[in-house]
Structure 1
Amino acid sequence: ATIQDSAVTNAKLASSAVTLNAGDGIAALGSLALGASMNVNLALDGSTLAKSGSGLKVGSAAITSTEIAANAVTSSEIADDAVGSTELAANAVITVKIADDAVTLAKCGFQWVQEVYTGTSSTTYDFSNAVAAGFEDAILVFRNGLLCQKVGSPSDEAEYSVARTGGTGGVCRITFGAAPNGDKVIVKYMI
């Protein structure tokens, strides 16, 4: 036997309504009469989730570093030229993070300096600048056009030693083994 359309009324049913319970993030719903309609609304805080003209959206500034899993952002997700010096924390780029041959000489900011002295009875000559640590062996000293030799203990005017910050005011100082009196001394170094 079949039941005719509209033959079962609400009075014939055990209940005339359906109760909808809201889950997490859904506004309270309550009771819905049979044949009625109801809108289901999400409980939005406006800062992390919000409504937009096209539907649900993530709120402005809602995603911070705490919402992003470790290692979730890889280089393929970062646009070219998107990371500049203002986005890097101090000391964030260390030597092991730089590929071999990735830094050019122009990026280092080195500057060659040349100073010329007329030799006197002194064996010591102070530069105008200090020399960076590790660049002591890059100092070139010429006496009358001939390259002098850097040694630990110079013995004559063709040999010299370097005190990187040993000059007056912390500048570099070279010391000859003998005074290059009357000779033309040219020094070339990097700062």
Structure 2
Amino acid sequence: MRASIVTDPPGASWTGLKPGDHVTASLTVTNTFAYPVELSGVVSREGVLTVGAHPLQVGFDIVRSTDAGGGTTGACPLRADALPADTHARVLVDVTFPQAAGNEYQNASGQATLFLTATQITPEECGGTVAAPPAGRGPGGLAETGLDLSPTLLVAVVVALAGWAIRAAGRRRRGRTAS
């Protein structure tokens, strides 16, 4: 199973920022997996607004919280940074366009993207204190995406071999006919 997180809202966007502007956003992140996860993030930047002497500044802070009942179900005593199963965290996004930004940024554009990653923390990493998920419980929220390559790859190889065999047989037949 894959660890999954759901963000609400799924993103934030600002346009028309001027030097000195400061904006913030708060995203709620939910761990929909049956085990605790380590939540981390990284900001990628591109475009003129994100480089130079006074670029657009983008930061974030992950604030962990407890489950809906206020407890710490699924908590991981050995990993204080863990986000337990079925709990929420807030991601506070902070964007500042420095007051000192000059005309070199006029009519320029840029994009900063925050990528969040949830990495499953195993029961062993929690000192064995996290129980296995109840029978039949899988990750909620987001559906698993992608596909298992094993059967797909096998079918592709079989089809390729069959095509190669048919072409080889056709060439052999043509060679016999030409003789």
TM-score range relative to shorter protein: under 0.3
Greater fraction of residues in strand: 2
* Structure with greater helix share of residues: 2
Higher relative contact order (CA 8 A, sep 6+): 2
Larger-gyration structure (1/2):
1
